[in-house]
Amino acid sequence: MRDIKNKLTSSKNTKNIQNRKGKSFGYQVLGFGAGGSAASFVTATGGTVITSGDFKTHVFTGPGTFCVSCAGSAGGSETVDYFVVAGGGSTNIDRSSGGGAGGFRLSNSVGCAPAPTMSPLSNPSGLPVDATGYPITVGAGAPQSGAPYGNRGSQSEFSTITSIGGGGGGTRPWPQQPGGSGGGGRCTSNGGSGNTPPVSPPQGNDGGNSGPYATGTGGGGGAGAAGTNGGGPVGGPGGAGSFIADTFIGPPAPSYGTPGPVGSTRYFAGGGGGAKYPSGGGGSGGVGGGGAAYSGGAGVGTPGTTNTGGGAGGSGANGGTAPAGANGGSGIVMIRYKFQ
């Protein structure tokens, strides 16, 4: 009798399961990684946190700490994408060339579109993290200078990723400053080298060269293009910056960077324009926060835009008579990961 009862009960349960096939029972199905362990996702705090869909982006416009409480696992998430821009280079008081943009380093492992198609390209690999605190350094824009050339911007850092500050804009035939992107040249000198020290993918481009004395100076290098050469009646424009997709940042994307020619993106790390004195026009700043040079006499160039890493625009003057040089723009750090 007991065997018959067990068979009847089993048959009834099977029928009930079949009748409920395809219906939701209100349970959450958990993913499992290798070895049958439950999948987990990166969990962290720090900075300004933006949530969009299944992703979080932490934005740092100043120093802070990215605190990871769970490093995640296979089947969930176990890497983060990064965007690290250094401070831009400054310019000086004597017909200076444009300041170079801060180094621009980006990983895009989940394929946020559109993605940069010009140097520097995004790294396709995310960065593994541990459950620990990661100090964040956001590079300051370089202060203006009265010396023979502008100052280099400060570097930005997250984990193993370091972006180098932009080179200062030059004056007279001294060697121009290298950096994330190089400062422009002046008085027959070449622009400073970008991507210095070198990393792959590259973090920036060279500054523009200069022609003879009393011609336009070179534009500072930008993340997306080299600075334009000077040499004529107008200073060289700063090199264009590069961009990240709005989806990398999240809904408040217009709060950061600048608009540019590629839609649904924000631009950073434009080079500063080179100056021309005593007459002629100053070079425009590169898209992505590069400052424009002063046009038409003794005046101060436009600073690089805050939290873009933009290089400063050159000041127009002869013999150090400009009121001041211009400051580079400060950098920024963003960290993005899947949290559910």
| Residue 338, φ and ψ in degrees, nearest 5 | -85, 130
Q: What is the mean pLDDT of the chain?
A: 86
Residue 331 CA to chain centroid, in angstroms?
Answer: 7
Please say whether the beta carbons of 232 and 214 come within 8 A: no
pLDDT at 117 exceeding the cut of 80 = no
* Structural domains counted in the chain: 1
Mean pLDDT of 86-97: 91
Is residue 144 very low, low, confident or very high in pLDDT (cuts 50, 70, 90)? very high
**pLDDT tens across 218-258, in order?**
999 999 999 999 988 889 999 999 999 999 999 888 899 99
Please compute the mean of the pLDDT values over residues 136-155 and round it to a whole number.
92
Residue 41 lies in a domain: no
Which amino acid is located at 4 in the chain? I
Using 50, 70 and 90 to split pLDDT, how confident is the model at 14? Answer: very low
pLDDT of 174: 66
φ, ψ of residue 11 to 5 degrees: the values are -65, -40
pLDDT value, residue 233: 87
Helices (H), the chain: 2-19, 246-249
Report yes or no on 278 lying in a domain: yes
Q: Six-digit token pair at 276?
A: 């021309």
String of DSSP letters for 281-315: BPPPPPTTTPPPPP-SSSBPPPPPPTTTTPPPPPP
> For residue 327, what pLDDT band results from cuts at 50, 70 and 90?
very high
Which structural domain range is residue 287 located in?
85-123+144-156+164-330
In a domain, 309, yes or no: yes
Contact indicator for 316, 96 with CB cutoff of 8 Å: no
Q: Is residue 74 part of a domain?
A: no
Whether residue 287 is contained in a domain is answered as yes
Kindly list the distances between the CA atom of residue 228 and the CA atoms of 22, 196, 237, 269, in Å, as whole numbers in the listed order.
64, 19, 5, 15
Distance CA 264, CA 269 (A): 17
Place of tokens 């989940």: 110
Give pLDDT, residue 10. Answer: 39
Q: At 156, give phi and psi (nearest 5°).
A: -110, 145
DSSP per-residue string spanning 63-79: SEEEEEEEE--TTS--E
- Asked if residue 38 is part of any domain, the answer here is no
Q: What is the pLDDT of residues 24-59, one digit of tens each?
A: 333 233 344 444 467 899 999 999 999 999 999 999
319 found inside a domain: yes
The answer to whether residues 169 and 91 touch, using CB atoms and an 8 Å cutoff, is yes
Contact 236, 116 (CB under 8 A): no
Give pTM, 2 decimals: 0.87
In a domain, residue 39? The reply is no
